[in-house]
Amino acid sequence: MTILQIAREEKRLNFAQLARETECHPSLISQVERGFRKPFPKFKKAVSKALDVGEDVLFMPNGYCRTIGLKDVVRAANANGTNTRHDR
């Protein structure tokens, strides 16, 4: 999962809605989000602005989307006091 995907979903935007805000094609957003395409600077700036998240948070120095793994999600949830266990 990428930080871009998390930020987009947090704003409750689908690909088409984000595409309208950034004037980019929905398939470009999908390809960048899944790591199939390296975004160009104009794209990174537009997405960052639309999602109100810094480019350095969304993208790595090599230009591709930052990713987050399950361990990172669990660690963040635990740090926030969220119980991630489902004990019965």
Evaluate whether 36 touches 46 at the Cβ level (below 8 Å). Answer: no
Task: Say how far apart CA 46 and CA 85 lie, in whole Å.
Answer: 38
- pLDDT for the residue 82: 60
Q: Is residue 88 part of a domain?
A: no
Q: Is residue 20 part of a domain?
A: yes
The mean pLDDT of 29-50, rounded to a whole number, is 96
Q: Is residue 72 part of a domain?
A: yes
Is pLDDT of 23 > 60? yes
Nearest to 58 by CA among 72, 74, 43, 76: 43
Task: Say how far apart CA 79 and CA 81 lie, in whole Å.
Answer: 5
Total residues belonging to the chain:
88
Is pLDDT of 86 > 70? no
Q: Is residue 84 part of a domain?
A: no
Q: Is residue 86 part of a domain?
A: no
Residue ranges of E strands in the chain: none
> How many structural domains are present in the chain?
1
Q: Is residue 33 part of a domain?
A: yes
Q: Is residue 85 part of a domain?
A: no
Q: Is residue 37 part of a domain?
A: yes
- pLDDT for the residue 83: 58
Which domain does 38 fall in, by range?
A: 3-79
pLDDT band at 85, cuts 50/70/90? low
**Percent of the residues in the chain that have a pLDDT greater than 70, as a whole number:** 92
Is pLDDT of 88 > 70? no
The tokens for 63 are: 């230009």
